[in-house]
C-alpha cells in the first residue's frame, strides 16, 4: 500500500488524509498521482488521474488555479453545492485565502457565508499542490446545519414565548376562576373547561407548526435527491384533504397533469395541504356564495426554465394587495379580513411553504383580488441538462 492510499485511509477517507498521504509519499508516487495535472506519468497501469482520485473522496473537493478559477469539482461537491460552487469560489474571503498561498505558505482557510438563494455556511481549506503547477486543492466543509440549529434554537424561544403568552394567560385566568368564583358552579365549569381545551389545542398546534418550520429551515440547504410525480402528488393531497373538505361540506376540483421533476414529494404534499387548508377556511367565510377550491397542475416555463406549477385557488374574500408581499413572513396575519377569529391561523404556514420552495430552487407566488378569491402557485424546475451533468461521476469544468 502506497503512502498516498495509506494516508487516505488513516485520514478517515477525507481529503485531509489524502493530502497528508501524498505529502509524505516518495517523489515518484507524488509525480504519479499528480501526473496528468503536472505533465508527468500517471499512477500504475490503471492510469488514475487526480480528478478520478478526487471523485473517490466522500468529501466535497475542488481543484482551482491560483487565481481562483475552478478547474474541477468532484461528485460530492456537485451533489452538495451544485450551482452554489461558483458563488463560493468568488467569495472575497476565498480570494483573500488564495492570495496568501505561495512557496512558503501552502495552507489557508476561509469561512464563507452565503445568503442567496438560501443561507449556507461553509468552511474552506485550501492547499497549494507541489510541483509549481499553481494548482490548489480546496476542501469544503458544510456547517449550514449547525448554523441553522443555533438560529432555530434562539428563534424558537423568541417566537414561542411571544405567541404562547396569550393562550397561557387565558388558561391561568380560567384556572383561577375555577378555583374561586366558579368553584361551585357546574355550568360555568363546563363552559370554562371547553374554552381551556380550545386554548390548549391552540398552543399544541402552534408548537407543532413551530417545530415543522424549524425542521424545514434546518433542511433548506440540502438539495432534494428524490423525484416528484405530479399525478401522485395530486392524488395524495386529494386523499389526505378529504376529511377536511367533508367537514366543510365541500368538494375539490382537480386537474392532474403527468409530470416528473426533482424534489421531495413528502414536502411538496405538505405545503400543498397547507395552502389547501387556507383555501378551504377562507372560502367558507363568504356568506351567500358556495365555497369552491381547485388544485391544478400545469407545465410552465419560468425565466426560460421548464417546470411544473401546482396551483391552489379559492373563491374566498381575497386579500388586499398591500398585504401580499409580507404573507410569507413568520407570524404575519391579515387581521382586518372577514371572519378572522375563525379562519386566521398563526402566520407560519406560508413561511413553511416559502422555505420548502427555496430548497427546491422553485418559485412561490400569490395573486388575490378582494371579493373574488386567492390563487397560490408553487413552481418547481424540471430536470435540466446541468442537473443531469451533476449526476455523472465527475465533471471537468476547464
Residue pLDDT, tens place only, 274-289: 999 989 988 877 787 8
Contact 220, 118 (CB under 8 A): yes
Check whether residue 196 and residue 172 sit in a common domain. Answer: yes
> CA–CA separation, 167 vs 154, rounded Å?
21
Query: Using 50, 70 and 90 to split pLDDT, how confident is the model at 267?
Result: very high
> CA–CA separation, 393 vs 222, rounded Å?
19
> CA–CA separation, 276 vs 237, rounded Å?
9
What's the confidence (pLDDT) of residue 152?
Answer: 67
Record the cell numbers describing residue 253, joined without a space.
376540483
Q: How many domains does the chain have?
A: 3
What's the confidence (pLDDT) of residue 159?
Answer: 67
The 10s digit of each residue's pLDDT in 38-93 is 333 343 335 568 888 898 888 999 999 988 999 999 999 988 888 889 899 999 99
Check whether residue 379 and residue 241 sit in a common domain. Answer: yes
CA–CA–CA angle 253, 254, 256 (5° rounding): 170
What's the confidence (pLDDT) of residue 234?
Answer: 92
Check whether residue 117 and residue 153 sit in a common domain. Answer: no
The 10s digit of each residue's pLDDT in 86-122 is 899 999 999 999 999 987 888 999 999 988 777 888 9
Q: Between residues 252 and 4, which one has the greater pLDDT?
A: 252
CB-hemisphere CA count at 13 Å for 251? Answer: 2
Beta carbons within 10 angstroms of residue 112's beta carbon: 20
Residue 147: which CATH number?
1.10.287.130
Domain's final residue, options 97, 119, 142: 142
The 10s digit of each residue's pLDDT in 315-361 is 999 999 889 988 888 778 776 554 444 445 677 889 889 989 988 98
Q: Which residues contact 229 (CB under 8 A, 6 or more apart)?
A: 259, 260, 265
Check whether residue 181 and residue 274 sit in a common domain. Answer: no
Check whether residue 149 and residue 133 sit in a common domain. Answer: no
Residue 345: which CATH number?
3.30.565.10
Q: Which residues contact 178 (CB under 8 A, 6 or more apart)?
A: 189, 192, 193
> CA–CA separation, 71 vs 85, rounded Å?
12
Phi, psi dihedrals of residue 215, rounded to the nearest 5°: -65, -40
CB-hemisphere CA count at 13 Å for 355? Answer: 21
Check residue 223 and report its DSSP letter.
Answer: P
What length is written for the chain? 398
Query: Using 50, 70 and 90 to split pLDDT, how confident is the model at 233?
Result: very high
What's the confidence (pLDDT) of residue 38?
Answer: 37
Q: Is it the case that residue 305 has pLDDT exceeding 80?
A: yes
Phi, psi dihedrals of residue 130, rounded to the nearest 5°: -75, 165
What's the confidence (pLDDT) of residue 373?
Answer: 92
Check whether residue 54 and residue 195 sit in a common domain. Answer: no
Q: Is it the case that residue 236 has pLDDT exceeding 90?
A: yes
Check residue 325 and report its DSSP letter.
Answer: G
Q: Is it the case that residue 385 has pLDDT exceeding 80?
A: no
To the nearest 10 degrees (0 to 180), the angle between helices 265-283 and 230-247 is 30
Q: How far is CA 194 from the centre of its chain?
A: 39
Q: How far is CA 391 from the centre of its chain?
A: 20
Check whether residue 137 and residue 150 sit in a common domain. Answer: no
Q: Is it the case that residue 386 has pLDDT exceeding 70?
A: no
Residue 111: which CATH number?
3.30.450.20
Q: How far is CA 340 from the centre of its chain?
A: 31
Domain's final residue, options 124, 142, 160: 142
Record the cell numbers describing residue 155, joined without a space.
428563534
Q: Is it the case that residue 7 has pLDDT exceeding 60?
A: no
Closest CA to 311 of 251, 388, 367: 367
What's the confidence (pLDDT) of residue 376?
Answer: 95
Q: Is it the case that residue 143 has pLDDT exceeding 60?
A: yes
The 10s digit of each residue's pLDDT in 165-208 is 778 888 888 888 888 888 888 888 888 888 888 888 888 878 88
Check whether residue 23 and residue 105 sit in a common domain. Answer: yes
> CA–CA separation, 261 vs 263, rounded Å?
6
User: In which element (H, E) is residue 71 found?
Assistant: strand 70-74
b/e burial code for range 204-241 (CB count within 10 A of at least 16 → b): eebeebbebbbebbbbbbebbeeebbbeebbebbeeeb
Q: Which residues contact 168 (CB under 8 A, 6 or more apart)?
A: 203
Beta carbons within 10 angstroms of residue 102's beta carbon: 9
Check whether residue 54 and residue 40 sit in a common domain. Answer: yes
Check whether residue 245 and residue 367 sit in a common domain. Answer: yes
Its domain, for residue 180, covers 143-222
Could you give the residue ranges of the DSSP H alpha helices within the chain?
3-10, 15-24, 27-33, 35-38, 50-55, 75-81, 84-89, 92-99, 144-163, 165-179, 186-219, 230-247, 265-283, 340-343, 349-359, 385-390
Check whether residue 41 and residue 129 sit in a common domain. Answer: yes
Q: Which residues contact 145 (CB under 8 A, 6 or more apart)?
A: 218, 221
Domain's final residue, options 222, 254, 286: 222
Amino acid at each position: 500500500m502506497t503512502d498516498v492510499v495509506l494516508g487516505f485511509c488513516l485520514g478517515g477517507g477525507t481529503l485531509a488524509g489524502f493530502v497528508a498521504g501524498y505529502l509524505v509519499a516518495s517523489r515518484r508516487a507524488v509525480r504519479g498521482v499528480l501526473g496528468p495535472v503536472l505533465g508527468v506519468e500517471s499512477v500504475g497501469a490503471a492510469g488514475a488521474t487526480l480528478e478520478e482520485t478526487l471523485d473517490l473522496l466522500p468529501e466535497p473537493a475542488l481543484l482551482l488555479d491560483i487565481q481562483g478559477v475552478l478547474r474541477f469539482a468532484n461528485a460530492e461537491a456537485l451533489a452538495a453545492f451544485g450551482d452554489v460552487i461558483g458563488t463560493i469560489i468568488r467569495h472575497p474571503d476565498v480570494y483573500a485565502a488564495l492570495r496568501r498561498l505561495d512557496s512558503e505558505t501552502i495552507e489557508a482557510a476561509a469561512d464563507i457565508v452565503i445568503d442567496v438563494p438560501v443561507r449556507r455556511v461553509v468552511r474552506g481549506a485550501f492547499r497549494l499542490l507541489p510541483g509549481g503547477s499553481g494548482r490548489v486543492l480546496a476542501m469544503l466543509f458544510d456547517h449550514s446545519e449547525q448554523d441553522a440549529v443555533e438560529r432555530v434554537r434562539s428563534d424558537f424561544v423568541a417566537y414561542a414565548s411571544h405567541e404562547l403568552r396569550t393562550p397561557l394567560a387565558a388558561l391561568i385566568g380560567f384556572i383561577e376562576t375555577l378555583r374561586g368564583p366558579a368553584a361551585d358552579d357546574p355550568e360555568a365549569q363546563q363552559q370554562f373547561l371547553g374554552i381551556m381545551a380550545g386554548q390548549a389545542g391552540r398552543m399544541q398546534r402552534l408548537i407543532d407548526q413551530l417545530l415543522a418550520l424549524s425542521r424545514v429551515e434546518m433542511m433548506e440547504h440540502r438539495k432534494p435527491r428524490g423525484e416528484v410525480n405530479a399525478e401522485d402528488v395530486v392524488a395524495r393531497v386529494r386523499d389526505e384533504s378529504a376529511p377536511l373538505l367533508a367537514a366543510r361540506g365541500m368538494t375539490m376540483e382537480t386537474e392532474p397533469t403527468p409530470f416528473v421533476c426533482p424534489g421531495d414529494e413528502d414536502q411538496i404534499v405538505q405545503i400543498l395541504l397547507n395552502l389547501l387548508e387556507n383555501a378551504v377556511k377562507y372560502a367558507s367565510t363568504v356568506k351567500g356564495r358556495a365555497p369552491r377550491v381547485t388544485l391544478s397542475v400545469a407545465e410552465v416555463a419560468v425565466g426560460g426554465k421548464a417546470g411544473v406549477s401546482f396551483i391552489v385557488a379559492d373563491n374566498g374574500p381575497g386579500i388586499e394587495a398591500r398585504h401580499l408581499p409580507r404573507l410569507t413572513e413568520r407570524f404575519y396575519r391579515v387581521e382586518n379580513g372577514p371572519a378572522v377569529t375563525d379562519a386566521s391561523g398563526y402566520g407560519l404556514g406560508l413561511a413553511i411553504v416559502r422555505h420548502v420552495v427555496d430548497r427546491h430552487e422553485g418559485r412561490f407566488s400569490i395573486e388575490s383580488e378582494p371579493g373574488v378569491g386567492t390563487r397560490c402557485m408553487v413552481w418547481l424546475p424540471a430536470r435540466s441538462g446541468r442537473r443531469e451533468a451533476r449526476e455523472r461521476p465527475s465533471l471537468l469544468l476547464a
